[in-house]
Structure 1
Amino acid sequence: MPYIVEDGVRLYYEEMGSGTPILFIHPPGMGHIVFRHQQSLSSHFRIIMYDMRGNGKSSPSNRPITIPLLADDICRLLNALDVKQAIICGYSNGGSIALEFALRYPHKVKKLILIGGFSEVCTALLRYEFLLGIYAAKIGAISLLANVLAKSHEKNKKGQQEIKQYVRLVNKKDLVNMYEKGLTYSCTERLPLLRMPILLIYGARDYYMHPYEKLFRKNVPHAKIIYIENARHQIPTKHHCELNGILKTYCIT
């Protein structure tokens, strides 16, 4: 299995294809498997997917998790793979890590793509979702969380089972830590520092995420925003055809 060992932690990754590198960043608990429908993009790009520390096949963290630490892990991974610059694509709370990486290492980011992304948690519904995740992880209800994530992301039983099994690999302590740090993280005031091309992708029916568009429009007016019709939050899995078409067009141009 492909691993890099950095900072005393083994990070599992998969890569396929050639050309411009695109790195995908998953939300807490899900691991790289949430992007399995994006593997077909490898016919046009060098696709890199990985499991964050404490998630999937990567080893547990050897220190308390922070968003900057997770951003530094991405830098270590890209350096190990000899990637000088990549298109960075973060999904949901993975977008927070993508934002932090872009702010810390702007020279390594060719383009930044956020799917259902946000620069801080400042709405009641999103905050409630984080609190539910923290509570579920603290009481050890990982199987319940795995079932919820699987059913919300996949329509068929085979896909649901694969996600369930992968989510169950998460380290409980690290998951709690990631949810807590994600809840309090904010980079809104630093958004104007971002100069690279930015694409924001939201589901047209993902209403509780729409307020975050205003934060981006105000602070990074050069960002391009696309809404996927009839989509909610689970775009990489349930609307992968539309997403892959958008990514292909945007990343090639």
Structure 2
Amino acid sequence: MPLTCIKGYSMYYEDCGQGTPIVFIHPPVLTSLNFQYQMKKLSADFRTVSFDIRGHGSSEPSREEITYPLIVKDIRQLMDQLKIEKAFLCGYSTGGSVVLDFLLSCPERALGGIVISGMSEVNDSKLRNKIARGLFLSRIGAISAIALSISWNQAKTKLSLMRSLFTDAKKTNAKNAEQNYHYSLNYNCTAQLEKIHHPVLLVYGEKDTPFHPYAKLLQERLPKSELVFIQKAKHQIPTKAAGKVNDLIRQFIYRCESSLLKG
């Protein structure tokens, strides 16, 4: 099990392949295991790095409150230890908000961003209620209930995948999950999006209609964004539309590298 020490605590990570680096960021209670299809397939062309946020999966619980700035600092230190000067940041769901925060606070360490089913703020009642439910269940220590629900949603009929996701997710520290949910519920960087000048790929499911307003908001506010809707897909793109999103990521990075060479 690859572990490294980040600011005095043990972080689990995976580092596969060679070439242009991509760092993957998961949402609360889910873990880096949710990106297993990206790590496996994209590592043939790129250096893929995933990690468990503090208090999630196999990473040690955090004494510090989980916030996006803390996660960003941890990513920077992990990149330092892996000798990665710059990388593409790829986040799923609220992990996409961490990508945006990284691009705003550490632009010199980024090559670009990939936001999958993500948002710059939580402004609709349905999503607010969903995150608030996760916050409440974390507060009362019902991590297994959250883990079972999200693992089922990510995997459905793939029982072996569901079991592995559930086994990993239920390790989550309840206090750290509560902090993560709380921060994601109140995060808002929409007014700062115009400051992000890196290329950003936005990927959403055609059937994930509640998230379409978030997709369009990001497309309108980000100066260099590409928006793609995956046909017949819902929210759980990394596991349920892995082949399609992997192709989109691959093509996006190749276009970015081609633009840099021309520039």
Q: Return the TM-score normalized by structure 2.
A: 0.94
> Is 1:86–2:49 an aligned residue pair?
no
Q: What's 1:35 paired with?
A: 35
SS of residue paired to 1:233: coil
One-letter amino acid matched to 2:147: A
One-letter amino acid matched to 2:14: E
Q: What's 2:221 paired with?
A: 219
Q: Please state how far the C-alpha of 1:138 moved relative to its aligned partner.
A: 1.5
SS of residue paired to 1:210: helix
Q: What's 2:69 paired with?
A: 68
> Is 1:175–2:177 an aligned residue pair?
yes
Please tell me whether the aligned partners of residues 22 and 47 of structure 1 are also in contact (alpha carbons under 8 angstroms).
yes
**1-structure distance, mates of 2:77, 2:223:** 30
**2-structure distance, mates of 1:144, 1:60:** 19
Q: What's 1:57 paired with?
A: 58
Q: What's 1:112 paired with?
A: 113
**2-structure distance, mates of 1:190, 1:177:** 23
Structure 1 segments unaligned to the other structure (5+ residues): none
Q: What's 1:237 paired with?
A: 239
**2-structure distance, mates of 1:114, 1:64:** 24
Q: Please state how far the C-alpha of 1:145 moved relative to its aligned partner.
A: 1.1
Q: What's 1:21 paired with?
A: 21
Question: Where in structure 1 do 4 or more consecutive aligned residues deviate above 4 Å?
Answer: none
Structure 2 segments unaligned to the other structure (5+ residues): 256-263
**1-structure distance, mates of 2:235, 2:95:** 13
Q: What's 2:260 paired with?
A: none
What value does the CA root-mean-square deviation take over the aligned residues? 1.0
**2-structure distance, mates of 1:97, 1:207:** 22
Q: Please state how far the C-alpha of 1:143 moved relative to its aligned partner.
A: 1.4
**2-structure distance, mates of 1:222, 1:159:** 35
**1-structure distance, mates of 2:123, 2:78:** 31
SS of residue paired to 1:178: helix
**1-structure distance, mates of 2:122, 2:128:** 6
**2-structure distance, mates of 1:6, 1:157:** 34
**1-structure distance, mates of 2:71, 2:43:** 25
Task: Identify which range, 213-222 or 131-140, moves more after superposition.
Answer: 213-222
Q: Please state how far the C-alpha of 1:221 moved relative to its aligned partner.
A: 4.0
**2-structure distance, mates of 1:66, 1:20:** 27
**1-structure distance, mates of 2:201, 2:214:** 14
Post-superposition Cα deviations, 1:36-57, rounded to whole Å, max 9, x if no partner, equal 0112111100010100111111
One-letter amino acid matched to 2:94: N
Q: Please state how far the C-alpha of 1:142 moved relative to its aligned partner.
A: 1.4
Please tell me whether the aligned partners of residues 198 and 224 of structure 2 are also in contact (alpha carbons under 8 angstroms).
no
One-letter amino acid matched to 1:128: N
**1-structure distance, mates of 2:184, 2:90:** 17
**1-structure distance, mates of 2:163, 2:12:** 21
One-letter amino acid matched to 2:200: I
- Size of the alignment, in residue pairs? 253
Q: What's 1:197 paired with?
A: 199
Q: Please state how far the C-alpha of 1:218 moved relative to its aligned partner.
A: 2.8
Q: What's 1:8 paired with?
A: 8
Post-superposition Cα deviations, 1:86-128, rounded to whole Å, max 9, x if no partner, equal 0110000011111111111101111100000100101111101
% same residue: 37
Please tell me whether the aligned partners of residues 197 and 223 of structure 2 are also in contact (alpha carbons under 8 angstroms).
no
Please tell me whether the aligned partners of residues 196 and 223 of structure 2 are also in contact (alpha carbons under 8 angstroms).
no
**2-structure distance, mates of 1:133, 1:116:** 18
One-letter amino acid matched to 1:234: Q
One-letter amino acid matched to 1:5: C
**2-structure distance, mates of 1:159, 1:104:** 35
Q: What's 2:140 paired with?
A: 139
SS of residue paired to 1:122: coil
Q: Return the TM-score normalized by structure 1.
A: 0.97
Please tell me whether the aligned partners of residues 9 and 62 of structure 1 are also in contact (alpha carbons under 8 angstroms).
no
Please tell me whether the aligned partners of residues 121 and 187 of structure 2 are also in contact (alpha carbons under 8 angstroms).
yes
